[in-house]
Amino acid sequence: MISRRAALALPALLGACSPQDLANALTPRGTTAVQEGISYGPGERGRYDLYTPQGAMPDTPLIVFFYGGGWRSGDRGEYGFVARPLAALGALVAVPDYRLFPAVRWPAFVEDGAAALRAVAAGPGAGRPVIVMGHSAGAFIALALALDPRWLGRPGRDALAGGIGLAGPYDFGPEDDPDGIFAAAPGKRARAAPAEESELLGVPPLLLLHGTDDTTVRPEQTRRLATRARAQGVPVQERLYPGVGHIGILASISAPARTLGLSGAPVLEDIAGWLPGIRRSPSRAAPTG
């Protein structure tokens, strides 16, 4: 619950903060413990923050959340407003940084995601079901790890407990990539899923969420991926939220939006309802591939 003091400070905060800063400032700290800047790779971009809810058990699931930003921007410290509500569902949450354009292009940010996932799965995720999750560009990274065995190796990918995508651009061509971020990809085309349909066998359960009013990443991206995955027997739950845009779907998770009645979609509730259906065998996702 947001305090009266925080509510009275809202006008000043609105003028002084970015949207992420504001959401973080108004998100209750609760009883979640936070470890910041855990290393998974070289440099400042090779670090992650870990959110551990009070009472976490050895088999409590762990969600690895990749933020969006068009592969150009983002910082793990900006996403406590997402991690804390997810942790309140009863999951550990890791939020990694990854390298960004123009310093790198594809596939570096997916490789960073794979390195982060390996480190998390071998460390705090050992013995736990591990789920990958992302929003926008981060959803591309998360779903690439959950779908395409080239990043984790088939045993590592198949050991994941599930994948959650929010408003992800899962398949687009060079006409949508004027800066050539994906110029080194086959056919200069960005694809989260493997080209061969048979390689989708063994993919973990998926939850794919999108707003119908998203003009940044069209909801057809989610519809097409859901259809393709289902055709290969992948368990998929798909939710399209009427009237919700690209940023609104992520904002709907935040405590301020839900407390103030501004949440445009039951995103957190749908994640909570989906979690019991994940693979409950302990994660073995410390891949060598």
* Residue 11 in domain: no
Domain membership of residue 167 as a residue range: 16-174+184-277
* Residue 3 in domain: no
pLDDT at 262: 72
d(CA 227, CA 236): 9
Enclosing H/E stretch for 210: strand 206-211
Could you tell me the CA-to-CA distances from 12 to 26, 176, 262 in Å, in that order?
A: 12, 38, 19
pLDDT at 27: 60
Under a CB-based contact definition with an 8 Å cutoff, are residues 72 and 101 in contact?
yes
7-16, 125-134, 141-150, 217-226 — which is least confidently predicted? 7-16
Instruction: Give the pLDDT mean for 173-186.
Output: 95
The answer, yes or no, to whether residue 68 has pLDDT greater than 50, is yes
**Average pLDDT taken over every residue of the chain:** 90
d(CA 125, CA 76): 18
* Residue 221 in domain: yes
Instruction: Give the pLDDT mean for 140-152.
Output: 97
* Residue 224 in domain: yes
**DSSP annotation string for 46-87:** SEEEEEE-TT--TT--EEEEE--STTT---GGG-HHHHHHHH
pLDDT at 280: 76
Radius of gyration, CA atoms only, the chain: 18
Q: How many domains does the chain have?
A: 1
Q: What is the pLDDT of residues 104-140, one digit of tens each?
A: 999 999 999 999 999 999 999 999 999 999 999 999 9
Q: What is the pLDDT of residues 206-215, one digit of tens each?
A: 999 999 999 9
The answer, yes or no, to whether residue 89 has pLDDT greater than 60, is yes
Local confidence band at 258 (pLDDT 50, 70, 90 cut-offs): confident
pLDDT at 263: 78
Closest among 130, 142, 56 to 279, alpha carbons compared: 130
* Residue 250 in domain: yes
- The pLDDT > 70 percentage for the chain reads 87
* Residue 37 in domain: yes
pLDDT at 261: 74
Instruction: Give the pLDDT mean for 44-49.
Output: 97
- Which carries the bigger pLDDT value, residue 80 or residue 25? 80
**Burial of residue 240, with CB atoms counted within 10 A of its CB: 0-12 exposed, 13-18 middle, 19 or more buried:** middle
* Residue 1 in domain: no
* Residue 287 in domain: no
Measured between its terminal Cα atoms, the distance across the chain in Å is 44
d(CA 254, CA 86): 9
CATH number of domain containing 153: 3.40.50.1820
